[in-house]
Chain A
Amino acid sequence: QVQLEQSGAEVKKPGASVKVACKASEHTFTGFDFHWVRQAPGQGLEWMGWINADSGGTKYAQRFQGRVTMTRDTSISTAYMDLTRLRYDDTAVYYCARGTGVALIYYYMDVWGEGTTVTVS
């Protein structure tokens, strides 16, 4: 069964950085894209960006440009999301999700991690 396992909860001070990991189960990493989606308390889903596991190519939502970096380590089937200059309103649950589809314009997220709670306090 395909699974995405995320790193544990983090508590950070304003201005600090956080790096969240997302490890894919075997044979479910290369050939896919991995998205990061966050959800502030009581709010909806907010897309942050994605990384192609094969090329390492990335695309970020405009509001996170300059603060977010997405990377991957294919040798351990793990994607990372690094968010810098944390603010109080970055407090949220951060999800990784596998993107798939016959072409980009049809892309959806078929497998999600359990989420990582990041608290800025």
Chain B
Amino acid sequence: SYVLTQPPSVSVGPGQTARFTCGGNNLGRKSVHWYQQKPGQAPVLVVYEDSDRPSGIPERFSGSNSGNTATLTISRVEAGDEADYYCQVWDYPSDHVVFGGGTKLTVL
């Protein structure tokens, strides 16, 4: 089955840029989606189809996908961005959903 690999943690200071990577075989050929999950809350979609933002998500959140790596970037990081971030793809032809293991963002 398809595997997505994420680093366990990322730490940045307020106002800096946080980058989250998601690795997978030929990932650039798939559509990658990103979710933010704060403690005790349900996940929230922050980027879909590699780089699109749902309404209500700040422009500080952006995404890219090429080769074997997708990247979620948060610019001008705020304390309120502290959360776990998960990448997700649809695996074809199994028609299964695959999540990465998640990356915890710590704002120093």
Chains A and B form a bound pair: yes
Give residues in A with beta carbon < 8 Å to B. 35, 37, 44-47, 50, 59, 61-62, 95, 97, 101, 104-110, 112-115
| Neighbouring B residues of A61 by C-beta, 8 Å | 96
State the total of A-B contacts with C-beta under 8 angstroms.
Answer: 65
Report B's interface with A, CB cutoff 8 A: 1, 30-31, 33, 35, 37, 42-45, 48-49, 54, 84, 86, 88, 90, 92, 95-102
Interchain CA distance A101-B45 in the complex, whole Å: 13
| Bound complex: CA A121 to CA B97 (Å) | 29
A44 CB contacts on chain B under 8 angstroms: 84, 86, 99-102
- With a cutoff of 8 Å between Cβ atoms, the chain B residues found around residue A46 in the complex are 99
Q: A47-B96, A106-B31, A107-B97 are in contact. Are A113 and B86 (CB under 8 A)?
A: no
**A4 CB to nearest chain B CB (Å):** 9
